[in-house]
């Protein structure tokens, strides 16, 4: 399959994930739970023509409240029944697959006074959102096709620490390549000398918490390098 066709196929699946997250985020209510949100996400993906997932049997990994700082593998994940309530943070990580083509996208949503808000008034929420956007922006400025996964790992973890946050990932990584099987993935982690350009796509998905904070923030996109050598969001 030629490169342009590959990009387009992945872009279509990723666009579905982004659309579901946009609509889903605004539908969250105080009565929702991880279980109800995960089920609704699965149904919304199916309504858009995607009924498969590449991530074990976990098309939507939802964490909220006391579990927002938890870092769990889809292999072990079971959605909980803690209600969203009046004030909360909800992270949804989607892993759709269509005919072997993967998407991968995560967003954190903020609930204040029992309703989802695009621009939170809570300072901790504002700060987490700001740092996530800055991490993605500085990553795009930093990387080139010659940058290694390890170099990006070191650079981004330094940025996280400088901002007063910590990396919550249970494997201490910040993303992975997009492949055709789970075992093919390689990670943004210490010791990985592979150049970013040696894979077609990579995710960037810092899962972070402010020092002594209570909330785990996550924002994930897929990236690739264009003909000018710039990192571009899929």
Domain encompassing residue 204? 3-233
Is the pLDDT assigned to residue 214 strictly greater than 50?
yes
pTM of the model: 0.95
What is the domain-level CATH number for residue 193? 3.90.230.10
Tens of pLDDT, residues 12-29: 999 999 999 999 999 999
Question: Does residue 50 come out as left (phi exceeding 0), alpha (psi in the -120 to 50 range) or beta?
Answer: beta
Structure confidence at residue 118 (pLDDT): 94
pLDDT of residue 183: 87
Q: What is the 3-state secondary structure (H, E, C) of 94-157?
A: ECEEECCEECCEEEEEEEECCEEECCCCCHHHHHHHHHHHHHHHHHHHHCCCCCEHHHHHHHHH
Residue 2 has pLDDT above 60, yes or no: no
Residue 3 pLDDT level (bands cut at 50, 70, 90): low
- Mean pLDDT throughout 35-39? 98
Collect all residues with Cβ–Cβ distance below 8 Å to 195 and sequence separation of at least 6: 145, 146, 147, 148, 149
Q: What is the pLDDT of residues 84-143, one digit of tens each?
A: 999 999 999 999 999 999 999 999 999 999 999 999 999 999 999 999 999 999 999 999
Residue 53 above 60 pLDDT? yes
> For 121, phi and psi rounded to 5 degrees?
-90, -20
Please check whether residue 124 is in contact with residue 213, taking contact to mean a CB–CB distance below 8 angstroms: yes
Question: DSSP assignment, residue 193?
Answer: -
Helix axes 123-142, 149-162, angle to 10 degrees: 150
SS3 197: helix
The residues with which 64 forms a beta bridge, in sequence order, are 90
| pLDDT confidence bin for 1, thresholds 50/70/90 | very low
Name the residue among 132, 152, 128, 94 with its Cα closest to residue 219: 132
Count of structural domains, the chain:
1
- pLDDT digit string (tens) for 147-202? 999 999 999 999 999 999 999 998 899 999 998 888 899 999 999 999 999 999 99
Average pLDDT, the chain: 96
């Amino acid at each position: 399959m030629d490169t342009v066709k590959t990009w387009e196929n992945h872009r279509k699946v990723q666009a579905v994930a982004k659309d579901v997250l946009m609509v889903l985020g605004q539908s969250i209510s105080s009565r929702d739970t991880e279980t109800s949100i995960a089920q609704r996400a699965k149904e919304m993906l199916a309504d858009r023509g995607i009924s498969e997932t590449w991530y074990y049997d976990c098309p939507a990994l939802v964490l909220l409240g006391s579990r927002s700082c938890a870092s769990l593998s889809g292999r072990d994940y079971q959605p909980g029944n803690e209600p969203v309530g009046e004030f909360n943070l909800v992270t949804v990580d989607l892993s759709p697959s269509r005919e072997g083509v993967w998407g991968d996208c995560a967003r954190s949503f903020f609930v204040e006074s029992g309703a989802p808000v695009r621009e939170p008034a809570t300072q901790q929420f504002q700060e987490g959102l700001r740092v996530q956007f800055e991490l993605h922006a500085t990553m795009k400025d930093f990387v080139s096709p010659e940058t290694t996964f390890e170099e990006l790992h070191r650079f981004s973890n330094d940025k996280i620490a400088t901002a007063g946050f910590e990396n919550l990932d249970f494997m201490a990584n910040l993303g992975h390549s997009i492949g055709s099987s789970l075992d093919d993935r390689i990670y943004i982690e210490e010791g990985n000398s592979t150049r970013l350009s040696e894979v077609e796509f990579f995710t960037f998905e810092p899962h972070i918490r402010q020092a002594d904070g209570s909330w785990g923030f996550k924002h994930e996109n897929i990236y690739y390098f264009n003909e000018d050598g710039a990192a571009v969001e899929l």
